[in-house]
Structure 1
Amino acid sequence: MTAYRRLVFLAWFLTLDLIMFGAFVRLTDSGLGCPDWPGCYGHFSPLGAHASIRQALEAMPYGPVSAFQAWVEMIHRYAGAFLGMLIIAFTVLAWRLRHALARSPALATAVLGLVCLQGAFGAWTVTHRLMPLVVTTHLVLGMSLLAMMTWLAAREKSHDPVPAALASGRGWMMLGLTVLFLQLALGGWVSTNYAALACMDFPTCHGVWMPPMNFQEGFSMLRSLGQQASGDPISQDALTAIHWTHRNFALVVLALLGVLAWRWRAVPGLRGPARLLLALLALQLFTGLTTIFFQWPLLIAVMHNGGAAGLVLVGTTLLWRLAQAGKLPSGSRRQDA
C-alpha cells in the first residue's frame, strides 16, 4: 500500500507541475513549436529535427517555430507521457490492492481514462492548429484531472475531524467548484483567443463600464484561432466581450469562495485549506490586475494560471473534508503496509 500512496502523491504533484508548465507553453506561443504529433518533425526530440526547425525559422522568423519553442513543447509532452505511466502504475495497484485499501478502484480507473482523453486533446491542440475550443477544453480537462488527483491524494492523508454539523457545507462547496470551473473555462477562452489585453484599464474597460462588445462573435465555438466562423479576422469588440465577461464573472467567484473560506477559517479540519483559499483568492486578484497594468508579463501570467490550479486543489480538498464531516479522520482506520 505504501507504493500505491507514493505513486498517487507523485502523480498528483506532477499533474500540478504540468498545468503550470502547460501555461508556460501557451504563454510563450510554443504550442506549435513542433507542428506534428507525437514527435517533432517526425523525430523523437528537437535534436533530430534541427534542420527542419532551422528551415521553418528561416521561412518565418517571427512564426511559431524555434528551437526554444520546440524544446518547451516537447518537454511538456515528455512530462505528460511520464504522468500517464505513473497513473497506469497506480491504477494497476489500485485493482491489485483493492481489498487491502478497502476502497473501490473506480476513481483511479476514471483518472486513467481522463488522462487518455487529455492526451488526445493535447494531440488535437496541435493538429487543429491551436483552435480555441480544443485548447480551452484541454485546459479544463487538465484542471479536472488535478481535482480528481487531489481527491485521490486526500483519501491517503489524515486530517483533523470536521464537525458533523458542517456536512451540509458540501453542497455549497460543490457550487463553489462549479462556479470556479466556469471561470476557468472563461479564463482559458481569454488566453486561447489572446484577449488578455482587450481591456487595458480597470475597473472600466476602454474608459466606460459597458464598452462596445460582440458576444455572439466572441463566444462562437467552432472557429479557428484569430478568426470568426466566417473566416474573417475576429473583431476587437469580440475580444472585448471575452475579456469583460471573464473579468466580471471573477467577482462572483471571489464573493462565493471568499464567503465560504471566511466562514470556515477557524473550523477544525478546515482551517488550513480555508485560510489558503483566502490567500489564493487574494493572489488571483493581484495577478489579474497586474496582468492588465503591466501588459501581460510572462511570470505574472504563469502565476495567475498557477493560482487557478491552486484554487482547484484547495477547493477539492475542502470538498473531500466536508464529505467526511462527522466521520473518523482519513487514514485513522488503517496502518501503512
Structure 2
Amino acid sequence: MNKFKFQSGTKVFCGSNCLFENKNEIIKLGKKAFIVTGKASGHKSGALSDIINILNEAEIKFEIFDKIENNPSLHNVKDGGTSCRMSGADFIIGIGGGSPLDAAKAIAILAVNDIEPIQLLKNEFTIKPLPIAAIPTTAGTGSEVTAASILTIPEYETKMSFVHEDVFPKVAFLDAKYTESMKRDIAVNTAIDAMSHAIEGYLNRTASPMSDIFALESLNIFGTCLENLCEERFDYDTREKLLYASMLAGLTIAQTGTTIAHGMGYSLTYFKDIPHGKANGLLLPEYLRYNYQVAQDRVESVLKALKLISIDEFEKTMRRLISNDINFSQEELKKYSSLAMKQKSTLKNLRTVTEEDMYKILDKSLRS
C-alpha cells in the first residue's frame, strides 16, 4: 500500500435537529461568540435564529458580523478580524455557504494575530486561531470539514487559498433544513461544486486509498440525486443526501486539494462573476476528456459512480443543469490559462498540464 496521511480535525453531527440536540458542543467552546455570516443566508435559513436561541439560553454573549461578501476578499476578512478582536469573543460560529465558512477561518486567525491578511497565504502567524463551529446552509463546499480557506486576491486577479490544520472547525452541524431556503440556481451550482471536489480529489496525484473511499461514496450519492437536480425536485431526502455528499467531498479535498478545474474556474468567477460551482461545471466535461488519456480507469470509475455511461452523457447532464450565456475572447482565455498555471492545485492534476493545454480546455468548454 502507498504511504499516505489522513487528517480531519472536525467533529461532525448530521441529521434533523442535530444543532439543538448537541448544543453543549457550542456552549463549551467559550464565553463569547463572534458569529460570521452573510447578509442573507444565515437569516433566511433559520440557522442564525436557532444559534441565537441557544446562546441566549446558555447566557453566552455574542456579536454578529453579517458582512461577508460572496467570494470574500482580503479586505473583507480583515474587517471581520478587527471586529472580532474588538468584540472580545473567544470563539467563532460560521453560518452559511463556502464564503462565510472560509471567511470564518481567516477571521479566526486575524482576530488574534496582528498580521496583514496577505500573510495568511503563507501561514505566517504564530498564535493559534480561535476555535470555530460551522453550520453549512448550502450543500456545496464541504468547508465545514476542511482546513482550507479560499479568498479573493484583487492584486493577483484571482482566488487563492491557505491551508492550516488549526483552522479545521472544531465542530460542524449538518441539518438539511438549513438548506431549504436555497433557490434553484444556488442549489444546483453548489451541488456541482461539491461533485467537482469529489472528482478532482479522485483524479489527483495525492489521492490515497483513504481519500478514494470518501470520493467514490460522495459520487455514488450524487449519482442518485442527478435526475432530481435536473428535474428540480428538491425534496428533503435529496437535500439531505446532497449535504452528506458535500461533506464527504470536503473530507476528500481536505486530504488531496483540488486540480485544474478549480484553478481555471476561478477566473470565470473573478472576471465574469460566474458562480463558482457553475464555473466548474462548464469545464468538467473537457476536464474529464483531458485526463481520460492518462487515467482511463479512474475516469470510468467516476462515471460509473455517477450512474453515467460516458463523458458525453456527463456533458449532457451538465448542460441540463447549467448553460453558458457569456461570450469569451481568445485573449481572455489566454489570460485565464496563464493565471491558472500559477495555482498550486495545477501541480496536483493527474496529467501534467501546460498553458496551451489549459487554453484548449477553456476554448472547447466556453467557445464551442
Q: Same fold (TM over 0.5)?
A: no
TM-score by length of 2: 0.29
Q: Larger radius of gyration, structure 1 or 2?
A: 1
Query: TM-score with structure 1 length normalisation?
Result: 0.31
- Which structure has the highest helix share of the two? 1
